[in-house]
């Protein structure tokens, strides 16, 4: 009896898991947190929800002026203004969602310490909040595209596929970064630099065909590149080459696909490993 009692006392007690209570409870909490965050973000702001559209539009306006008037890129790329606008909106979603998710677990320390609270709901709620903003912005983007004289095209129906592709990678990065930030606060600075480098390594400001051939391999290593290449073909110009054709064959996209899959798998492993220890680390 003594040995049994001793073994029971020494048995490791695992902490809360990433989901912590089942899928239904997880999704209910995820939606509740995201909607509340979306509402709170613009409380007290004079322009309110208009800021969700104005911020990326201001960035777009500056970039459009610089790259069409100073670097004269507009004359080299067909439909450059709408390519730039759509690219800025997509990348702004990725950058803002990962940046907000990165610190989310630390910022919600009081909630995280509740033993049965699903840890993963917190960083993913940050992503979902920014996704709601993107949904609002996309209405304005497509109005601009139609006003510009492009579309509508049947391939616009593939927009959910494109967004799901981007959302998957964004959620993976958000989960992994948020878990690592609990232990390593340097991740905030590191990710700010890395995300900025990714912006320039992604076909947002340019198209792959105007990049010198010797640098193609660098751009094609980026797991975001196939998404933006395909976006041009599906949304902006159906006659433009898709991701495979623009890259010069499916084999050249394999490194980006492999990195995409590796990041997703690594994110699941890292978050599942760190989830039981998050409250303790905080």
Q: Which pLDDT value is given to residue 228? A: 96
pTM: 0.84
Which span out of 6-15, 141-150, 153-162 was modeled with the highest average pLDDT? 153-162
Spell out the SS3 assignment of 245-269: HHHCCHHHHHHHHHHHHHHHHHHHH
User: What residues contact 19, with CB distance under 8 A and at least 6 apart?
Assistant: 26, 118, 120
At residue 255, does pLDDT exceed 90? yes
Q: Which pLDDT value is given to residue 48? A: 59
User: What residues contact 82, with CB distance under 8 A and at least 6 apart?
Assistant: 144, 145, 148, 150, 236
- Assign 282 a pLDDT band (cuts: 50, 70, 90): low
- Assign 2 a pLDDT band (cuts: 50, 70, 90): very low
Cα torsion angle, 237, 239, 244, 246, sign: negative
CB-CB contact of 101 with 126 (8 Å): yes
Q: Which pLDDT value is given to residue 116? A: 66
**CA–CA gap between residue 50 and residue 157 (Å, rounded):** 26
What does the mean pLDDT of the chain come to?
Answer: 83
pLDDT tens digits for range 41-81: 665 555 556 666 677 778 778 877 877 777 666 667 788 88
Taking CA atoms, 278 is separated from 193, 210, 267, in Å, by: 25, 46, 15
pLDDT tens digits for range 168-185: 999 999 999 999 999 888
At residue 11, does pLDDT exceed 60? no
Q: Provide the total of helices (H) and of strands (E) in the chain, helices listed first.
A: 14, 0
CB-CB contact of 274 with 179 (8 Å): yes
Q: Which pLDDT value is given to residue 108? A: 78
At residue 220, does pLDDT exceed 60? yes
Q: Which pLDDT value is given to residue 119? A: 82
Domain ranges of the chain: 20-275
pLDDT over 70 percentage in the chain = 82
Torsion of CA 243, 224, 218, 103, to 10 degrees: 180
At residue 137, does pLDDT exceed 60? yes
CB-CB contact of 220 with 227 (8 Å): no
pLDDT tens digits for range 70-129: 766 666 778 888 899 899 999 999 999 999 999 988 887 777 776 567 788 889 999 999
**CA–CA gap between residue 121 and residue 80 (Å, rounded):** 38
Taking CA atoms, 221 is separated from 4, 182, 253, in Å, by: 55, 29, 8
Say which residue, 202 or 14, is predicted with more confidence.
202
């Amino acid at each position: 009896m003594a040995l049994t009692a001793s073994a029971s006392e020494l048995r490791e007690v695992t902490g809360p898991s990433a989901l912590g209570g089942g899928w239904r409870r997880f999704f209910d909490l995820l939606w509740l947190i995201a909607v509340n965050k979306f509402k709170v973000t613009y409380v007290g702001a004079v322009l309110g929800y208009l800021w969700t559209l104005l911020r990326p539009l201001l960035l777009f306006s500056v970039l459009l002026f610089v790259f069409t008037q100073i670097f004269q890129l507009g004359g080299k790329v067909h439909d450059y203004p709408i390519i730039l606008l759509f690219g800025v909106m997509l990348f702004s979603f990725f950058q803002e969602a990962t940046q907000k998710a990165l610190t989310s677990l630390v910022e919600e320390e009081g909630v995280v310490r509740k033993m049965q609270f699903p840890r993963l709901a917190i960083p993913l709620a940050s992503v979902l909040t920014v996704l709601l903003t993107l949904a609002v912005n996309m209405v304005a983007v497509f109005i601009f595209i139609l006003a510009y004289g492009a579309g509508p095209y049947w391939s616009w129906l593939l927009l959910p596929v494109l967004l799901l592709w981007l959302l998957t990678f964004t959620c993976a990065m958000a989960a992994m970064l948020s878990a690592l930030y609990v232990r390593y606060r340097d991740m905030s600075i590191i990710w700010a630099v890395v995300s900025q480098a990714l912006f320039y390594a992604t076909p947002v400001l340019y198209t792959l065909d105007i990049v010198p051939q010797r640098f193609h391999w660098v751009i094609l290593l980026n797991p975001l590149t196939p998404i933006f290449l395909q976006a041009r073909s599906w949304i902006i110009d159906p006659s433009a080459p898709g991701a495979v054709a623009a890259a010069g064959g499916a084999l050249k996209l394999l490194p980006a696909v492999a990195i995409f899959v590796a990041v997703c798998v690594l994110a699941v492993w890292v978050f599942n490993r760190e989830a039981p220890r998050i409250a303790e680390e905080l």
